[in-house]
A and B are shown apart, each in its own frame.
Chain A
């Protein structure tokens, strides 16, 4: 049976140079990130190059995705949150395309590596901190003090609020990474059962149809998960940005 972790190997494609003793290389992860960005650019540029009052198929895809993210941002962070639209829209499309491209057999899933998701999550976290402190100054700390809490329980609540704030980038990044990792390992393990059972002759071929059907069903589930995780990442970004815009509860 093949090793289910093997698909996550990072392969060096070309060495670019060396910085402080560390090798800087163009890897398959970087290649798939480039492919992801190229796919998004092609879609959006292609959709908006021939603008029409009655949108064609491609233009409606772009318009629907714009409306989808804009509604999500407006309903969670208000109209003031719309200045972060480009950030949320880029994050949503990048994660969605990376997840979906990773589902094609023999490709590499960019988001199944914690280093990528942690970078994206810390980008959001730093944006919230920088914007919150720049806009509200020290009043940003009101985020940790909910109003209407009795004084004797307030220290505990403030402590819990601070812990939940600090653990945000961890849960934000690990959620996406763990979902992608677990999904792809599950697919690989069930796919590994097919040749294993197929080795037992005609009866094995009949048995192998069960994991084959399961793999098809699981792939459909993974498409759903790929979309859902991109959506969850984007809506959590909106909610965190809302905290930076309106820190008082």
Chain B
């Protein structure tokens, strides 16, 4: 296979990993919303935890994006 074509295909495959991060971020915000509707008075105090969980989950998706960007522009 042409190595450049293989590079582009690899970058595309690496981006699939971001789907997992999407599912994870959706779960976090969905559960936060569900819990916030049950107990709205406690919701504000957990906002920091929400953003922290969001950031940690998103980091894993960002690693796969990083691999894609490295394949496209650095290697």
Q: In the assembled complex, which residues on chain B have CB atoms less than 8 Å from the CB atom of A167?
A: 59, 63
Contact A175 B58 (CB under 8 A): yes
Smallest CB-CB separation from A181: which chain B residue? B69
Which residues on the A side are within 8 Å of B58 (C-beta)?
175
C-alpha gap A75/B48 in the complex (Å): 9
Secondary structure at the A interface, as helix, strand, loop or mixed, is: helix
Cβ of B51 and Cβ of A178 under 8 Å apart? no
**Bound complex: CA A236 to CA B55 (Å):** 8
Contact with A along B28-70 (1 / 0, CB 8 A): 0000000000000000000010011011001100110110010
Residues of B within 8 Å of A209, CB to CB, are: none
Q: Which chain A positions have C-beta within 8 A of B59?
A: 167, 171, 175
Interface size on A, residues (CB 8 A): 15
| Contact partner, B54, options A170, A174, A232, A239, Cβ 8 Å | A232
The CA-CA distance from A116 to B22 in the complex, in Å, is 26
Q: What 5 pairs across the A-B complex have the smallest Cβ distances?
A: A171-B59, A232-B55, A174-B62, A175-B62, A178-B65
- Closest B residue to A171 using CB positions: B59
Binding site for A on B (CB under 8 A): 48, 51-52, 54-55, 58-59, 62-63, 65-66, 69
Chain B residues whose CB sits within 8 angstroms of the CB of A228 once the complex forms = 51
Does B51 contact A231, Cβ atoms closer than 8 Å?
yes
B62 touches A76 (CB 8 A): no
Chain A to chain B contacts (Cβ below 8 Å), 18 pairs: A72-B48, A75-B48, A76-B48, A167-B59, A170-B66, A171-B63, A174-B62, A175-B58, A175-B62, A178-B62, A178-B65, A178-B69, A231-B51, A235-B48, A235-B51, A236-B52, A236-B55, A239-B52
Shortest Cβ distance from A70 into chain B, in angstroms? Answer: 13
> Which residues from A are CB-within-8-Å of B55?
171, 175, 232, 235-236
Chain B residues within 8 Å of A178, by CB: 62, 65-66, 69
**Shortest CB–CB separation between residue A125 and chain B, in angstroms?**
14
Q: Which of A174, A231, A236 contacts B66 (CB 8 A)?
A: A174
CB 8 Å contact bits of A109-145 with B (1 = contact, 0 = none): 0000000000000000000000000000000000000
Q: What CA separation (Å) do A178 and B59 show in the bound complex? A: 11
